[in-house]
Structure 1
């Protein structure tokens, strides 16, 4: 039987591109998102039949919703070889604004708790089988806090730390935890950005490189590699120089803008 990949946030952007790449590689698909109609239309447009794809309606902001989707996947299709927790949001915040505290809470609920809840249904089954790959989609925004990006940067830093912790917990089990840090990818999330996006990738290019990293079971990778160089420089830059470098940088749009 073909291997199975479970992907959240597969209705557009990176998630959809990853689903396409895994299908091309001969995987069956289990795709979870709120907008199930869009996924079903996408699969039909590519001629992907019911034998190769199942769609699960789920909201990663609701723990029981995404856990139920994972349990349904195991019941209907079996235990995946790969689970990709890709669903996430990216919204600017201003801590002075009371309403933006709710945006922060929602971001953490989706990008962090939702990621853990995505993995949850599969951990015991993968451990019992002795193999599998749990993939967390972080961001280069995890490396340093950027003005106006507090919610997104904090959540993606949390993805990196959480996946590192989980990797240690599962090390002896045969289950690998892969953390991917995309740079700038041309998706609906990034098209409204009000700042430069160096080394911008098309979703398909990112998916090709991510697929190779996931198949290899690498623990951590920045894509593209050029952003990896930038990340290393950002890590070692003293605070005064970093603060100067980001002074005047465009902020991410807030929900009210």
Structure 2
């Protein structure tokens, strides 16, 4: 039987590349994002294999409606990948609580709405796999990523807490922590991005990790090693390194 996957944030970047990969692997894929035109174009290139379900995940009622429509029209969702999110750099000099609120609303609360909607159905069926896209930025505080890193740290903690609870109901949960991936979001960066990989490479790594049922998929491996070593350092040494990441004050 053909498996059904639902991917949010699938109009561009990692979500789009993963949708492409899963279609190649034999899934029927429901794609969701705010850009209906981009989703329709993707579906047109994969006739009969992709269902288009435009969605703003910050609208809890819309999340429930889309989930119900997918299960009614395509079948029970075997794999749900929540990749919708945004990234904006922020600094102490221009820190904004409103910007923080907006990013948490999308990255954290939007994901929470998806979890709230999908988990009961999968628990009732005692089957299914949920994956949440976070970031290595959630491992520690890096200059310029105070809010973004905080949202991704929240997702990591949330998934770590939910994992054993879902496991006893037969539901798998995976947290995905990418490093720098070449996407429209990272193209806004004006600083060197070590170990940058393509979205296709990211999708390949994610697909393989999901097939193995891993709890955490973190990549590329060089970034994973670097971020974990940095996290393990005493604060004095860690700050000595992160100070080198500060933007010049004359900007």
- Cα deviation digits, residues 27-61 of structure 1 (max 9, x gap): 001111110111111221x2x11x32111111112
Q: Are residues 1:66 and 2:38 paired? A: no
Aligned residue runs from structure 1 range 95-244, under 5 A:
97=94, 100-244=96-240
Runs of 4+ in 1 over 6 A off after TM superposition: none
Mapped to 2, the partners of 1:151 and 1:136 lie a distance apart of 18
Partner of residue 54 from structure 1, selected from 51, 56, 65: 51
Which 10-residue stretch deviates more, 9-18 or 229-238?
A: 229-238
Alpha-carbon distance change, 113 to 172 in structure 1, aligned in 2, over 3 angstroms = same
TM-score, normalised with respect to structure 1: 0.92
How far the C-alpha of 1:75 sits from its partner, in A, is 1.7
Mapped to 2, the partners of 1:178 and 1:231 lie a distance apart of 19
After superposition, the CA RMSD in angstroms is 1.6
**Would the aligned equivalents of 1:195 and 1:249 in 2 still touch at CA under 8 Å?**
no
**Would the aligned equivalents of 1:186 and 1:200 in 2 still touch at CA under 8 Å?**
yes
Structure 2: which 5+ runs fail to align?
Answer: none
TM-score, normalised with respect to structure 2: 0.94
**Would the aligned equivalents of 1:61 and 1:106 in 2 still touch at CA under 8 Å?**
no
Alpha-carbon distance change, 3 to 86 in structure 1, aligned in 2, over 3 angstroms = same
Mapped to 2, the partners of 1:116 and 1:78 lie a distance apart of 22
How far the C-alpha of 1:69 sits from its partner, in A, is 1.4
The equivalent of 1:18 in structure 2 is: 18
Q: Residue 144 of structure 2: SS of its match in structure 1?
A: coil
Which 10-residue stretch deviates more, 188-197 or 12-21?
A: 188-197
Residues matched between the structures, number: 248
Mapped to 2, the partners of 1:106 and 1:66 lie a distance apart of 18
Mapped to 1, the partners of 2:55 and 2:30 lie a distance apart of 12
- Cα deviation digits, residues 152-188 of structure 1 (max 9, x gap): 0000000100111111221211101001100110001
Alpha-carbon distance change, 96 to 71 in structure 1, aligned in 2, over 3 angstroms = farther
Structure 1: which 5+ runs fail to align?
Answer: 252-256
**Would the aligned equivalents of 1:7 and 1:32 in 2 still touch at CA under 8 Å?**
yes
Mapped to 1, the partners of 2:114 and 2:26 lie a distance apart of 23
The equivalent of 1:83 in structure 2 is: 80
How far the C-alpha of 1:198 sits from its partner, in A, is 1.2
**Would the aligned equivalents of 1:93 and 1:104 in 2 still touch at CA under 8 Å?**
no
How far the C-alpha of 1:67 sits from its partner, in A, is 2.5
Mapped to 1, the partners of 2:51 and 2:246 lie a distance apart of 40
